Amino acid sequence: MDNQNVKTANNDTRCVFFNTDSEDYRCVVILTVKRATGTFSLVGCVFMLFVIWLLRRYHSLAQKMILSLTVAAFFDSLAYVMGESHPEGSLCDFQAWWLTYFDWSALAWVCLITLNLYFNLVREISTNRYEMLYHLMAWGVPLVMASLPLLKGYYGPAGAWCWITDDHVAWRFGIWYVPLFSLIFLMICCYARIICVANARMQSWLGTFNPERERRKVSLAEEIKPLKWYPSVYLLVSIFPLINRLHNAFYPLGPSFVLTLLHVLSAPLHGLANAFVFGLDRDWWSLLSPTGMQLALQSRFCDRTRIGEYYPGAVRYTQADLVDLSDDDDDDTNVLFYSPDMTLKDRGP
């Protein structure tokens, strides 16, 4: 019993990814960088969620998909700031499952955003009816992918965080890296097709000036411009993790400090990368000017234009052209100007 306690204590004070003392400067640097990059991603996700809430960008299907991507990236970032590198056990398994699930969920939403754009712009298919299917795929497929190693017992200490252990290299690449780079390649091909079709359509629209055609042309270009960067940033933040895992596969007993450092610098940055792509849309920044922020906050907290409970006795309807401007100013009944051609627009919640 005493020997078991000593072994557990030694495990708790060891740096599991270099198999040295936890006070080794390399372990301190790796854990500090991991927390810092995870925190940056967390802040980026919180900023995106705040802006989406403030500007009410969650009504259309495309906006809802970006919101779901941000939520997945937020919980993914939490996995990287969960604390120290855990020894083998249930807490380590939970961190590994959590990380795999939300990594996959964020990737799934990026793929579905690309697919949705392809359906809308290339195939000209309305996709609103696919919303529930998108959610089923984006939250369901990751559940299967994250649970398979858990059921097999393949999770454990795997460098700076818990994941599939070094003893199961094939599972690392089968569960994550091979699907990841295959999907990134397919997304790049998909965006190339989208851009070619969009350019061909914009060329076909040249000729006699048509306001509606010009509006569609601008809308088409603006919709593609920020979204096309999602596969690129995922590729950039995944290169060093892939190189480090390949090094681990060939040299399991000799982890590289430099590669591990580059790994923890890039892998947790999914949330920050998404915020960067989010910020490429100049329309957001125009709305986030001091004046725009003030108006948006007033709309959120001080909006008194919403139609409330209807009191028929206090409302008088008149034709707009029959209103007598000499009415007594002290008349406290509400006058709703009615026109047969007037439509009311829903301001949203």
Asked if pLDDT for residue 213 goes beyond 80, the answer is no
Asked if pLDDT for residue 314 goes beyond 50, the answer is no
Q: Are 274 and 233 in contact (CB under 8 A)?
A: yes
- What is the average pLDDT across 255-282? 82
Banded model confidence at residue 208, pLDDT cuts 50, 70, 90: low
Pairing of strands 155-157, 334-338: unpaired
Cα 116 to Cα 184: distance, rounded to the nearest angstrom = 15
CA angle centred on 333, ends 328 and 335, rounded to 5°: 90
**Predicted pLDDT of residue 251:** 84
- All structural domains of the chain, each given as residue ranges with its CATH number in brackets, are 31-300 (1.20.1070.10)
- What is the average pLDDT across 297-317? 56
Q: Which of 52-66, 145-159, 291-305 has the lowest mean pLDDT?
A: 291-305
**Predicted pLDDT of residue 72:** 93
- Cβ neighbour number for residue 244 with a 10 Å cutoff: 23
Banded model confidence at residue 206, pLDDT cuts 50, 70, 90: low
Asked if pLDDT for residue 204 goes beyond 90, the answer is no
**Predicted pLDDT of residue 276:** 81
Give residue-wise pLDDT tens across range 290-301: 777 777 777 777
Give residue-wise pLDDT tens across range 229-259: 777 788 888 888 889 888 888 887 778 888 8
Cα 221 to Cα 227: distance, rounded to the nearest angstrom = 11
- Cβ neighbour number for residue 308 with a 10 Å cutoff: 6
* Residue with the larger pLDDT of the pair 9 and 187: 187
Q: Are 255 and 248 in contact (CB under 8 A)?
A: yes
Give residue-wise pLDDT tens across range 98-146: 999 999 999 999 999 989 888 888 888 888 899 999 999 999 999 999 9
Distances (CA, A) of 233 to 228, 275, 329, 346: 10, 11, 61, 36
Beta-strand ranges (E) seen in 3-147 are 14-15, 20-21
Write the DSSP assignment of 52-83 as a string of letters.
Answer: HHHTT--SSHHHHHHHHHHHHHHHHHHHHTS-
**Predicted pLDDT of residue 144:** 95
Paired tokens of 49: 């969620």
Banded model confidence at residue 322, pLDDT cuts 50, 70, 90: very low
Cα 249 to Cα 158: distance, rounded to the nearest angstrom = 11
Q: Are 54 and 297 in contact (CB under 8 A)?
A: yes
